[in-house]
Chains A and B, each alone.
Chain A
């Protein structure tokens, strides 16, 4: 592993043959998680780093009582929790997650492992360096690089994708959004100069088919395994009270407000609490990536909970006492934060958000178990929503039927009719990150893969793209697909 802080060997040691390593977790709600199980899972994650290749089969506990889809879904959900624990484990590599404090820096918050999008897509397409983190504009004196998260606000920091709207918590503050990538993503972007809009449009890049590295445990050629591309998207809540700070994973942040003109924007120091966590992970068997999403348990209620009035006393983005507040409506405009108000919304409006699609019973069971594994820390206040994965295995792995030699060996973005290879589940939305596009309307409602499948870059077609060759067919096919990520369109 090149991009993780090296760990000292934990206790107990894993088996000497890594391919024999097995982690299991009995999901029976009647059986509490014992120390040995906890140790096995947490020690091995800490030692081994991020699980880089998932395997999900059509069998499992409860055998024929569950469908193959449900078995596989469980496999992916299991993988998701392991990923969550691995990424959120303490950055020092020695402390186990169940011994962490609310504000213990996580692996992904460590700039040795992950880099924020705006630190890669620099102004004027400047070449980024992995080790360099500039303080957010206006925060130069305030920013403490070792302990602070630095956030430079742009529209996407407070406005959800495709400008669908900001999220205002019950204390009247904006929720903030950020995107990070791991070193493999960064290296690929840097190698092909995709951090610059001008470079994306270069002649050289007109022939590039963007294809991020796919993770694999044991490559066939005997080279070391590697995780592949990982992208994280987070949502934060601004925390004011000490009580809140004990329930969330927190980070100290300096935030520069959105820029207007050449003057330096105001700089704010805030404690942020993690409320939403997306991970995209590309592996050799899932070239369409694996998509997982977590939320803090206090975010929003489900429809069923409202109907049966089994509500918590309070939520971050829902007021149980207000029965007439319109649900899932966008705030009144303007949406951009007023510089004079800091990160407080300009009107008394608070977002009243309800989860439209409930978690499945299987996922809820798994959540309870893993929450036991990390019991005693803030991490027990997080839950998995679901994992979206390409369920059409023949599509996911194979090439299109007729030979197309110019296709790169990995992701085949030319597949018809379904380039996404049948995402399961069909729809998935995080109530803090895709708040206003929840639902089950094809294409209109949030689905990680259906939406990300449309992501394109600024690449231009080569001049001879349409010129027919001797056989009358065009010489070269032009691709501007970005391999499922919207990061490249943020190049400046």
Chain B
């Protein structure tokens, strides 16, 4: 199949995202002991500047997380591009819309992921050198309980324990925080059992909190025991703390990059690179002279040779003219995110014909697909809180992420949004402005009869009043690892003729109850803040809609995706029910490592990136000993 000899190296990595970049650099941290690394990246290379990314973003009609990056999401007429025509496609939030609509989630001509349901998997990713560049920047550590869900909460059958614990990762978290450049204060981050080595300091002081944060903190300062009883914490809190969110966002000059200037655009792109992104590490890695990145190279087959060891990885190179090729290495690392990694494994043949896919003797590859279902609500505060200022999120509530309630329902972490209704109403300020200029009511704020259509001073007063009081809250809800939530292969192909990922996805009752609790928390918060709830009623045809009985009333709820894709190659202590061991090494193939959040056995509530980074550095140490 391959034309010409294979590229040879010591370590071959598939995927130039967080995990891939960090491992490549870490393997070459000692110039006296270089390791020849090849990274195969499905997407476009790192550009010399972000001019094009910013242009694409500024002029995008849909400023979704994918909008600055390639491949293009929509064509010149703002129609979704058919994924079967795209070489290295990826999902977009625009294809999560109701059946029959512009972005029909079930229509393969619109949705890169072939979604079988019953519910849509709502998260997306990038395929470009730098990987998840569009991330928010949040760098939270998991709390100790998160690693021990089966032991601590045995009544929830889906849970398993991680084969490692918080103490195993404590130092690695610190290394990852210094590598990415995280801004936070240690005293504020030691909650729910999180602890730090005695002399540990974060690289930079915390990012100042916003006025929105202050308003939330004030409202939750004194609660009655009844207020928060529904949370079923150990003891019902009389104050719920708002804590600064540790983030890989410079609060000072760091490694030659500027400090945050509050562009309020972390997702999808920071115009001044004050937020860390993996292109920084990729550049440092290639600077060693021992790391090569092959962009527009899509790995399409892992070839298993003697003794179950990987002998080579085949790829398709699609910068014209298209060619096939291969790479040979001593050690192989798949770092292609929790959907593309299992896709590649399933596309490849295991020596045992009874096993479906490389590394899959446990049959766990692709299973236990998890996200943090994201529940949002929004409203107007009684007095201005001045959103649209500062980083997208500067503080959150993490103190509710663990407690006895976890025997019954998923935990949630609270995100306090600084961007008004931009994210929740489908592109504010455009939507609200259009409402009041053109007499419409998409926001429910222009509900008089007749509707207001304003000019001049009246328009300024109205919009000034509304925008300065827009408030939104988000909840990352814990999802159980469910066997039937999985990635498989569809018969429907992409532009290279490769089988696209097929997704089966649902929310367990445990997870839905977590969303219910989040909903109650929202009610508590809104009532304490005096927020007028403007959350729109979920349309009946909304694919993410579900109903729950809450206090004897049927309430329609919905969820979005947090962009946190986890679980599909989970780690464990036994090979019969996990894909990799605690070093992220495949049980089946001893020279194969699977890294990234696909290895998370449970997802908890913290954003996965810091844990991905910590595990990647740890895996790099393991790999380095064997090269």
Check A-B contact in the complex, CB < 8 A.
yes
Residues of chain A touching chain B, judged by Cβ–Cβ distance below 8 Å, are 155-156, 161-165, 328-330, 333-336, 436-437, 439, 441-445, 451, 453-458, 460-461, 466, 478, 480, 486, 489
Complex Cα gap A486–B257 (Å): 11
**Is the beta-carbon distance between A456 and B51 smaller than 8 angstroms?**
no
- Closest 4 pairs between A and B when the two form their complex, measured CB to CB: A489-B253, A443-B271, A444-B54, A441-B51
The answer to whether B456 has its CB under 8 Å from any CB of chain A is: no
Q: Which of A163, A336, A444 lies in contact with B50, CB distance below 8 A?
A: A444
Complex Cα gap A294–B9 (Å): 46
21 A-B contact pairs sorted by A residue (CB < 8 Å): A161-B256, A162-B256, A334-B287, A334-B288, A436-B48, A436-B49, A437-B49, A439-B49, A441-B51, A441-B58, A442-B271, A444-B50, A444-B51, A444-B271, A451-B272, A456-B259, A457-B252, A458-B252, A480-B252, A486-B253, A489-B252
Chain B 412-425, CB-CB to A under 8 Å as 1, else 0, gives 00000000000000
**Is the beta-carbon distance between A455 and B258 smaller than 8 angstroms?**
yes
Residues of chain B touching chain A, judged by Cβ–Cβ distance below 8 Å, are 48-55, 58, 205, 208-209, 252-253, 256-259, 261, 263, 271-274, 283, 286-289
Complex Cα gap A456–B274 (Å): 12
Which residues of B have CB within 8 Å of A445?
Answer: 49, 51
Complex Cα gap A313–B271 (Å): 38
Which residues of B have CB within 8 Å of A437?
Answer: 49, 51
Q: Which of A162, A457, A480 lies in contact with B273, CB distance below 8 A?
A: A162
Complex Cα gap A163–B288 (Å): 15
**Is the beta-carbon distance between B53 and A444 smaller than 8 angstroms?**
yes
**Is the beta-carbon distance between B54 and A443 smaller than 8 angstroms?**
yes
Instruction: Decide: A454 near B261, CB < 8 A? Known: A329-B48, A439-B49, A478-B208.
Output: yes
Of the candidates A155, A156, A436, A454, the one having the most CB atoms from chain B within 10 angstroms of its own CB is: A454
Of the candidates A444, A451, A478, the one having the most CB atoms from chain B within 10 angstroms of its own CB is: A444
**Is the beta-carbon distance between A163 and B48 smaller than 8 angstroms?**
no
Complex Cα gap A466–B188 (Å): 14
**Is the beta-carbon distance between B48 and A164 smaller than 8 angstroms?**
yes
**Is the beta-carbon distance between A330 and B48 smaller than 8 angstroms?**
yes
| A456 to chain B: closest residue by CB | B259
A147 to chain B, nearest CB (A): 33
A160 to chain B, nearest CB (A): 10
**Is the beta-carbon distance between B259 and A441 smaller than 8 angstroms?**
no
Instruction: Decide: A163 near B53, CB < 8 A? Known: A333-B287, A460-B205, A461-B205.
Output: no
Instruction: Decide: A443 near B272, CB < 8 A? Known: A162-B257, A454-B259, A480-B252.
Output: yes
Which residues of B have CB within 8 Å of A333?
Answer: 283, 286-287, 289
**Is the beta-carbon distance between A328 and B55 smaller than 8 angstroms?**
no
Which residues of B have CB within 8 Å of A456?
Answer: 252-253, 258-259
**Is the beta-carbon distance between B49 and A164 smaller than 8 angstroms?**
yes
Known: A461-B205, A480-B252; 8 extra A-B contacts, CB below 8 A, are: A162-B273, A163-B256, A164-B49, A437-B51, A441-B54, A441-B55, A444-B49, A455-B258
Complex Cα gap A456–B272 (Å): 13
Which residues of B have CB within 8 Å of A461?
Answer: 205, 208
Complex Cα gap A336–B31 (Å): 13
Complex Cα gap A330–B48 (Å): 6
Which residues of B have CB within 8 Å of A466?
Answer: 208-209
Complex Cα gap A336–B287 (Å): 8
B274 to chain A, nearest CB (A): 8
**Is the beta-carbon distance between A480 and B54 smaller than 8 angstroms?**
no
| A440 to chain B: closest residue by CB | B51
**Is the beta-carbon distance between B287 and A335 smaller than 8 angstroms?**
yes
Which residues of A have CB within 8 Å of B271?
Answer: 442-444
Of the candidates B48, B55, B253, B274, the one having the most CB atoms from chain A within 10 angstroms of its own CB is: B253
| A163 to chain B: closest residue by CB | B256
Complex Cα gap A457–B259 (Å): 9
B617 to chain A, nearest CB (A): 22
Which residues of A have CB within 8 Å of B274?
Answer: 454
A129 to chain B, nearest CB (A): 25
